[in-house]
């Protein structure tokens, strides 16, 4: 919500809190067939994209989110060649995935093409690899696309989703996870943004239950800061079809042929360290280690 004195405020009703950003200008607003999209120029966080009243990204700190969705899972997989990004219409995650020379094909599946087109205009730094010949765009329902994907056809699935409301709700369902499980090749990996562990453990518990029910036998969450999201502390949850999630290609990560601003081998190792309350909250679902 934009106030008369030029502050945009996002309210987190479930936590009884809110956070605000001083606005210099509103750059765009439109209602698509799926959601309301706004783009603002802020005084200290650069441009921000807002969908249905919730901040999706800022120019100042999006690199943390996008690097942590892409690099830990790609360096955990033994040979990630075929990647699907579900959601992620701002193209930041796609951009990070395409930095990996071993990746041969990346399909971005987003229900709303306007998110991509507005990102190309307002966040061109995230879209610089959209013309990479390895990239393919499909503007359709992510669950439907995954149900129709050939069995064992994907090595890594990255779910860069909105919150579990509106168009993004189905991406947190057992139906979707079952479709992902079928589409993944042996030892395939899935990772999905999983909200704030401080505010949304009910969502995390639901994800663990649904993923386990869909046949993912090994799950693990990683954590990172993100100042524009509620509580400033975010997570992503990784699930594996076959072997346990143990270790990563540390030498390859340490000698990665591209620059990062947040991710490195130490961050990779440390990101999987969880607080005690997290273990306690999931103890009846998953022996988190």
List all residues 6 or more positions away from 40 whose beta carbon is below 8 Å from its beta carbon: 2, 8, 21, 23, 24, 25, 26, 27, 47, 48, 50
Q: Which of 160, 163, 202, 284 is catalytic?
A: 160
Cβ atoms of residues 266 and 231 within 8 Å? no
Cβ neighbors of 202 (< 8 A, separation 6 or more) are none
* DSSP labels, 71-139: HHHHHHSSS--EEEEEE-TTSHHHHHHTT-TT--EEEEE-S-HHHHHHHHHH-GGG-TTTT-TTEEEE-
Rounded distance between C-alpha atoms, residue 123 and residue 95, angstroms: 12
Output the CA–CA distances (angstroms, integers) from residue 34 to 111, 121, 156, 166, 271, in the order listed. 8, 20, 27, 8, 34
Q: What angle do CA 149, 162, 289 make, to 5 degrees?
A: 80
Active site residue 160: yes
C-alpha 237/C-alpha 195 separation (Å) is 9
What's phi and psi for 169, nearest 5 deg?
A: -60, -40
What contacts 181, CB < 8 A, 6 or more positions away?
214, 215, 216, 241
Residue with tokens 């709303």: 112
Burial of 92 (0-12, 13-18, 19+ CB in 10 A): buried
Contact present, 240 and 187 (Cβ < 8 Å): yes
Active site residues: 160
């Amino acid at each position: 919500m934009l106030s008369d004195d030029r502050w945009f405020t996002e309210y987190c009703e479930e936590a009884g809190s809110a956070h605000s950003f001083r606005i210099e200008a509103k750059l765009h607003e439109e209602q698509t067939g799926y959601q309301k999209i706004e783009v603002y120029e802020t005084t200290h966080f650069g441009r921000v994209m807002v969908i249905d009243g919730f901040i999706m990204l800022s120019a100042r700190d999006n690199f943390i989110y996008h690097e942590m969705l892409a690099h830990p899972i790609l360096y955990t997989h033994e040979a990630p060649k075929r990647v699907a990004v579900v959601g992620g219409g701002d193209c930041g995650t796609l951009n990070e995935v395409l930095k990996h020379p071993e990746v041969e094909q990346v399909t971005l599946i987003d229900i709303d093409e306007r998110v991509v087109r507005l990102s190309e205009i307002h966040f061109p730094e995230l879209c610089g690899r959209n013309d990479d010949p390895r990239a393919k765009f499909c503007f359709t329902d992510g669950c439907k696309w995954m149900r129709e994907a050939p069995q064992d056809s994907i090595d890594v699935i990255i779910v860069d989703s909105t919150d579990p409301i509106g168009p993004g709700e189905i991406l947190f369902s057992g139906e979707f996870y079952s479709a992902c499980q079928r589409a993944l090749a042996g030892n395939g990996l899935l990772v999905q943004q999983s909200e704030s562990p401080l505010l949304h453990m009910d969502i995390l518990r639901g994800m663990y239950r649904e993923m386990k029910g869909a046949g993912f036998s090994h799950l693990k969450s990683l954590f990172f800061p993100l100042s524009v999201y509620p509580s400033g502390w975010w997570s992503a949850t990784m699930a594996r079809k076959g072997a346990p999630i143990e270790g990563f290609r540390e030498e390859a990560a340490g000698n990665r042929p591209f620059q990062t601003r947040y991710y490195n081998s130490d961050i990779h190792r440390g990101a999987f360290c969880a607080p005690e309350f997290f273990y306690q909250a999931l103890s009846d679902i998953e022996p988190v280690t």
